[in-house]
Amino acid sequence: MMAINIFKASFSIFLFYACIVSTDALKCIECGMPNGEICKATLPNPVDCVKPNDKYCIKVLTRADDHEHILRGCVGSESPNKCVKQGIFEVCTHTCNSNGCNAVTAIRPNGSLLFATASFAIVLIMLRFIIHF
């Protein structure tokens, strides 16, 4: 039930940010679903962000128990570069605004972050990959 509410909140935030328009072109590394393993080691080359509002690159690292998943892509707004831990889950986000900057290999935990912000980033990138395939 909580996952559904987080998804609904994240999707609402996504729709809000999808309405923001920008003219800046940016190249970010995009990988994750369905090829998440590529995001951990050998990274693809940065690609043009296709949505006009994409002004930032993002890296989202999620951990649960011994499992880790990384998503990288383009987003329309900056998120705090922080990690949040809730139960066995930890989600870290890193946004930046230069070409290929989301290739960073490490994200340091730095305080708390609203779980909805991290969920928004994950949903946004997953939706981007679903729409493109």
DSSP assignment of 72-98: EEEESS---S-EEEETTEEEEEEEE-S
In a domain, 50, yes or no: yes
Block mean pLDDT (10 aa), the chain, length 133: 46 45 72 70 87 92 87 92 92 94 62 54 71 61
Residue 74 lies in a domain: yes
Identify whether 115 is part of a domain: no
Structural domain includes residue 39 = yes
Through-space distance between the first and last CA atoms of the chain, rounded to whole angstroms: 28
Which CATH number do you get for residue 56?
2.10.60.10
DSSP string, 21-67: ------EE--B-SS-GGGGTSSPPPPEE--STT--EEEEEEEEETTE
The answer to whether residue 16 is domain-embedded is no
Q: For the chain, how many structural domains are there in total?
A: 1
Residue 31: give the domain boundaries.
25-104
Does residue 128 fall inside a structural domain? no
44 within a domain of the structure (yes/no): yes
Tell me the one-letter amino acid at 56: Y
Residue 42, pLDDT score: 75
Q: How many residues does the chain have?
A: 133
pLDDT score at 57: 95
Q: What is the pLDDT of residue 98?
A: 93
Task: Decide if 18 is inside a domain.
Answer: no
